[in-house]
Copies of this chain bind each other. A is one copy, B any other.
Amino acid sequence: MAVYTEVSDEELQAFAAEYAIGTAIACKGIAEGIENSNYLLTTTQGNFILTIYERRVRREDLPYFLGLMSHLSARGIDCPVPVKGRDGNALREVCGRPAAIVSFLSGMWPRRPAPTQCHALGVAMARLHRAGADFPMRRRNDLSLDGWRALHATTREAADRVQTGLAERIERELATLATRWPRTLPTGVIHADLFPDNVFFLDDRLSGIIDFYFACNDFLAYDMAVALNAWCFERTGEFNVTSAGQMIAGYQTVRRFETAERDAIPALCRGAALRFLLTRLYDWINTPDGALVRRKDPLEYLARLNFHARVADASGYGFA
């Protein structure tokens, strides 16, 4: 984590009293996540997660995120359920910042995802896409092509300090993706950040998906592209095509990819790699030294980007 905002006991007690969740008896900052401050809140009724939304999350987006979690959970997706206050509102304020309490999900995220876990994620992703189909709100993906261009503009100078030639490499990639990015593919609600630390397992059973704060409406297959990047590279850099094939196979037990989606996968994977290269670059430059955050190496995603640029077609990702 990330604990940017410190909550005093008085503030916490007053905040908890706005809910019918019992009395707060403990509250500990969690050392995971980087966007928001997360606390494990224990009350006389059990464990909850208190999230305080920090600057990077736009306040006007919060009803979409919280609404989506409620919507998905009502359709049987295991995800945090926003808890409504006594007045019926889930989105509240503590320490002058927007905040919400959500249900606590059991499970641990896989430090080294196994192919069986990739399969389970594929299944869960497709179910999530299906469950999101009738979610009425819309949010555009502000971390797609236009957003990447904007990130590139602010990180361009620093990029070359991280690695000589990096700015130019990103520029070229943006130009390539501008021509190759798909125009029409099936769209819907996507999670857009399906990294292992957002997916909980109890043994090999997927027990829940968390952190919907990048969720948006975009190509469904882009969610797969993000997850292929996030789950299928070994720590040593190799692409694990068995894991990838399992993830895709899992997905297709629920929803089959169309031919156009299949064909678009290499470009979508390049785009996803570029997205994390750019946001990590941005974080690398902009994380204050005192923040309780582990900065992630942007160049890891340059290597992944280079991998995808060499893949000829979807078979390179283990499409059966």
* Interface residues, chain A, with chain B CB atoms under 8 Å away: 1-3, 6, 8-9, 12-13, 24-32, 40, 42, 47, 104-112, 200-203, 289-290, 292-295
Contact = CB atoms under 8 A, between A and B. Distances in A.
Contacts of A40: 28, 30, 40
Nearest to A44: B106
Given A6-B111, A28-B32, A289-B289, 15 more contacts: A1-B29, A2-B31, A3-B31, A8-B112, A9-B110, A25-B107, A26-B107, A26-B200, A27-B108, A28-B31, A29-B31, A30-B40, A42-B104, A290-B295, A292-B294
B9 A108 contact: yes
A202 to B, nearest CB: 6
A29 B32 contact: yes
A198 to B, nearest CB: 13
A299 B22 CA distance: 41
Contacts of A8: 110-112
Nearest to A111: B8
A166 to B, nearest CB: 21
A26 B30 CA distance: 12
A294 to B, nearest CB: 6
A11 to B, nearest CB: 9
A293 to B, nearest CB: 7
A140 to B, nearest CB: 32
| Closest 10 A/B residue pairs (Cβ) | A29-B31, A25-B106, A9-B108, A8-B111, A31-B31, A3-B31, A28-B30, A292-B292, A26-B106, A1-B31
